[in-house]
Amino acid sequence: MSWTEHHQKSERFAADAEAAVLNGHPNQAHDAYRRAAQEEERAVADLSPKKVRTLGISAVSVVSLYYKAGLPDAAQKAAQKYLNLDELPDFAREQLVQILGSTTLAAARAAAVGARAKR
């Protein structure tokens, strides 16, 4: 499959996720966001190295989708992978660092809530 095909599949999964959120089905939404993130990762893997701006947009999309899927570890791992790419544009690098901060904060909050619940 090409970047376009993977990206279109990702968009469909993301739309399904949004519909699930609106209909009050958070588990279905998380699953659809996860599938959207995975398809977008496949799209990035098939991207031409000359498409630097598209790389940046897609990398931010992957990380954001994992975050929406409730998978902060996957979001952090993907962000680190893309931040290690020399060709990643500055705008994407800045957005990924910002998202990384959000995922780290979310993970810390979840850990704190879990620790309080065990008391």
How wide is the angle at C-alpha 19 spanned by C-alphas 75 and 15, nearest 5°? 60
| Helices 90-118, 52-68: crossing angle, 10 deg rounding | 10
pLDDT, average across residues 28-36: 98
Average pLDDT, integer, range 99-117: 64
Q: Could you tell me the pTM of the whole model?
A: 0.84
For residue 47, the 8-state DSSP code is S
pLDDT above 80 for 92: yes
> Phi/psi zone of residue 24: left (φ > 0), alpha (ψ -120 to 50 degrees), beta?
left
Question: Which pLDDT belongs to residue 108?
Answer: 57
The angle, 0 to 180 degrees and rounded to 10, between the axes of the packed helices 72-83 and 90-118 is: 150
CA–CA separation, 27 and 29 (whole Å): 5
Which pLDDT does position 49 carry in this prediction?
A: 82
The answer, yes or no, to whether residue 61 has pLDDT greater than 70, is: yes
